[in-house]
């Protein structure tokens, strides 16, 4: 039996998503679990796997097309089945063409009249005793152009009104042309060059989420300096004795988790009608990727060794930069860590990553003047800043958490215990 493949809501986790790349072609046999498309969501580009066995009979939308969740994107038929056997109401604009063959996508309309129920009226309007068939795209264009669809006779299958019926109307081309606005004369030497970079789905998501965070979540900040001389020595010894090379950030993540265990009030998120406190520690780690930022989540960090943290972070970061991260790996957690120390940044404040209630901004470990027993000396110092959601974390709780974190960083053997 033919199956209509639709944009999955769980995968997109939003109202719409973009088919970035088709990984299969028309006529290809597919099995459950086979990757068939790369879909760009708000957070990442993820692979969508087939949920049925069969033959890919039709690609309804082209690569690069943004469509709403639940809309059809492809048709899969059983072996021996033909297009004529497809019994579905797939509503496709006739201008869309199959990316493999270049042929127009076939429209299918149910032949059996639907019962005249209130629920059926909006989808197939009745006009002067006849049913008015038109695609959603045609209805949208008609509204924009001020065209009364009742006055048109459709030339599509079954009398459906299609886009070409609108485009052939007198003056249609003129309505499609933007009105040229006269520009003031500018001397060549005064004209500045620029390039407009189109926004990707990821960049739009970053802009929307962080604007919402900064304007609706009451941030406050707590900053501390950590002596890391002993931690650097410990890391050197660990790397010399082990096969997995650890970074300073791996120890930071372990210390963050231990501090959240010690101060469980900080391991919480705002839940509108309640504050949700977690039993385990899941930490999101900021990873720079082409065109944006992703925050894969490391699970159960309080139970992991430093070497295990290093291995898992390396895997998550590599797949995030390669566009192979999974949607569920970007979700959950209560706390984030953003480290810009490798870029030479000594101190900064990060914006909270909703729904997390805390994010630790980690600067570079640099040699600075320090006072030891009343004497001036040189020490290696790392500045960290906690951004906290004041709806969840009060100032005293943030101070307790920061003290617990600094204590572990400056006494690094406690991180390994």
Is 113 in contact with 28 (CB distance < 8 Å)?
no
Tell me, rounded to whole angstroms, the distance of Cα 245 from its chain centroid.
30
* β-strand partners of 362: 339, 384
Is 264 in contact with 335 (CB distance < 8 Å)?
no
Return phi, psi of residue 75, to 5°: -125, 130
CA distances from 89 to 185, 368, 400 (A): 54, 70, 60
Non-local (6+) Cβ contacts of 107 within 8 A are 90, 91, 92, 94, 156, 157, 160
CA distances from 248 to 53, 177, 231, 245 (A): 47, 58, 8, 10
Is 221 in contact with 386 (CB distance < 8 Å)?
yes
CA distances from 163 to 160, 334, 417 (A): 10, 49, 69
Catalytic residues: 390
Residue 358's closest CA among 397, 314, 404?
Answer: 397
């Amino acid at each position: 039996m033919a199956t209509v493949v639709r944009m999955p809501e769980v995968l997109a986790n939003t109202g719409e998503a973009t088919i970035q790349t088709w990984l299969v072609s028309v006529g290809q046999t597919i099995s459950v679990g086979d990757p068939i498309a790369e879909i760009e969501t708000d957070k990442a580009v993820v692979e969508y796997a087939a949920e049925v066995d069969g033959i890919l009979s039709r690609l309804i939308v082209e690569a690069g097309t943004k469509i709403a969740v639940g809309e059809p994107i492809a048709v899969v038929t059983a072996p021996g089945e033909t297009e004529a056997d497809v019994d579905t109401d797939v509503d496709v604009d006739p201008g869309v063409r199959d990316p493999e063959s270049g042929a127009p996508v076939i429209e299918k309309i149910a032949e059996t009249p639907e019962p005249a129920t209130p629920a059926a009226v909006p989808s197939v309007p009745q006009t002067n005793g006849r049913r008015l068939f038109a695609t959603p795209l045609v209805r949208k264009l008609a509204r924009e152009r001020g065209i009364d669809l009742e006055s048109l006779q459709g030339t599509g299958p079954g009398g459906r009104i299609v886009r070409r019926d609108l485009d052939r109307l007198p003056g249609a081309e003129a309505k499609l042309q933007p009105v040229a606005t006269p520009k003031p004369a500018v001397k060549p030497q005064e004209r500045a060059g620029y390039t407009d970079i189109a926004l990707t789905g990821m960049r739009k998501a970053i802009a929307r989420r962080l604007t919402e965070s900064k304007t609706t979540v009451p941030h406050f900040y707590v900053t501390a300096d950590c002596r890391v001389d002993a931690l650097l020595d410990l890391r050197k010894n660990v790397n010399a004795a082990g096969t997995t090379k650890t970074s300073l950030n791996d120890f930071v993540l372990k210390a963050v988790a231990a501090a959240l265990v010690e101060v469980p009030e900080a391991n919480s998120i705002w839940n509108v009608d309640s504050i949700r406190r977690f039993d385990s520690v899941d930490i999101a780690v900021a990873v720079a990727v082409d065109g944006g930022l992703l925050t894969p989540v490391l699970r159960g960090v309080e139970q992991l060794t430093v070497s295990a943290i290093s291995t898992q972070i390396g895997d998550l970061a590599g797949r995030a930069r390669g566009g192979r991260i999974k949607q569920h790996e970007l979700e959950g957690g209560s706390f984030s860590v953003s480290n810009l120390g490798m870029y030479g940044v000594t101190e900064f404040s990060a914006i909270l990553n909703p729904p997390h209630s805390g994010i630790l901004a980690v600067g570079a470990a640099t040699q600075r003047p320090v006072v030891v027993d009343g004497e001036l000396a040189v020490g290696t110092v790392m500045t960290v800043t906690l951004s906290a959601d004041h709806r969840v974390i009060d100032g005293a709780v943030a101070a307790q958490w920061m003290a617990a974190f600094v204590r572990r960083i400056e006494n690094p053997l406690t991180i390994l215990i």
